[in-house]
Amino acid sequence: MTSTGEAVQFWVLAVIAVGGALGMLLMRKAVHSALCLAATMIALAICYLAQGAVFLGVVQIVVYTGAIMMLFLFVVMLVGVTSEDSLKEQLKGQRVAAVLCGLGFGVLLIAGIAHAKLGHFPGLAEANAEGNVQGLARLIFTKYVWAFEVTGALLITAAVGAMVLTHREHVTAPSTQRELAAQRIRENKQVPPLPAPGVYARHNAVDIAGLLPDGTIAEDSVMNTLRERGQMRDVSQDMLRRMAELENSTAEWLGRPSSERPALPSQPRPELEPVPNHQKTTDDAAKRQEEGE
């Protein structure tokens, strides 16, 4: 049996750990899942410390929450923070089946532990007599020295593997700016530079598409990455919307019927009328003059 203090600590940590694990399972965004998992790992580290595994407790914090979770966060940022899990099921009934499987598995595991014949608990007093780190070092460099050496080979392989997997070989030399310009002219596609993002009077953020003369957005003024992630903001209707709101509130204040304009039609604008010829306008002016007299 353990002390009351450890019991209290255990129950607090168990709640945090299970809560973090469930949060990781249920959060839709990968970043939130990663943060929940980090909370669980820290709770587990304190569990290790409480059980006399001092070295492992510190390694858990340094390696797991410090290195591995940061690696996870890096990759989450690379892949896109806003990426959410789709809720669409690819296989019918898979989620229900998975939950049932999990429940059954958990019941089996816990029943197995409950039926195990566990006698008295000596604690780590004897094994930790000369200090936890010293005891671990003695074992690692005597009994488990072979496994330790193989671990070194494994780590080297993992590092090389990661480099090979993420490295991209340039088969040809990258084209220079001059070559790219020549190619653009040759293909006659987008010969001038791409339009710049932002609406100069109000917004200059890179995720806001510039507006074309007719008020629609210029899609290619926003960089590819943002466009692919769907992070392009369209402010072309913002001013009109704000103006309508202002008009509405004014009308309400004055007690007049609202003079709200119908929403802007989405179809392309009609062709501009041809400029009336010079002869006709002078005739009109002459006629007006006569009428005036």
Partner 1 sequence: MNPVNYLYLAALLFTIGASGVLIRRNAIVLFMCVELMLNASNLALVTFSRLHDNLDGQILAFFTMVVAAAEVVVGLAIIVSIFRTRHSASVDDSNLMKL
Which parts of 118-137 interact with partner 1 (CB under 8 A)? Answer: 118, 121-128, 132, 135-136
Minimal distance, residue 187 CB to partner 1, in Å: 25
CA 123/CA 192 separation, integer angstroms: 76
Please list every residue from 243 through 272 that binds partner 1, using CB under 8 A. none
Instruction: Pick the binder of partner 1 from 155, 240, 246, 264 (CB under 8 A).
Output: 155
Site for partner 1 (CB under 8 A): which residue of 145, 149, 151, 282? 151
Sign of the dihedral defined by the CA atoms of residues 125, 130, 131, 137, in that order: negative
List CB contacts of 245: < 8 A, sequence separation 6 or more: none
Q: Segment contacting partner 1 (CB under 8 A): 155-163, 175-183, 185-193, 205-213?
A: 155-163
CA–CA dist 145, 135 (Å, integer) = 14
- Whole-angstrom distance, CA of residue 173 vs CA of residue 109: 58
Q: Does 285 bind partner 1 (CB under 8 A)?
A: no
> Among 256, 266, 259, which Cα is nearest to 245's?
259
Strands 217-218, 210-211: pairing kind: antiparallel
**Least distance to partner 1, CB of residue 209, Å:** 21
**Residues in region 192-231 near partner 1 by CB under 8 A:** 228
| Rounded Cα gap, residues 198 and 234, in angstroms | 10
Least CB distance from residue 243 to partner 1, whole Å? 39
Strands (E), the chain: 210-211, 217-218
Q: Is 105 in the site for partner 1 (CB under 8 A)?
A: yes
Among 12, 82, 145, 157, the residue binding partner 1 under the rule CB under 8 A is 157
Token pair for 109: 């595991």
121 or 253: whose CB is closer to partner 1? Answer: 121
Position among 12, 82, 145, 161 found at the interface with partner 1 (CB under 8 A): 161
- From residue 1 to residue 20, the character string flagging contacts with partner 1 as x (rule: CB under 8 A) and all else as - is xx-x-xx--x---x--xx--
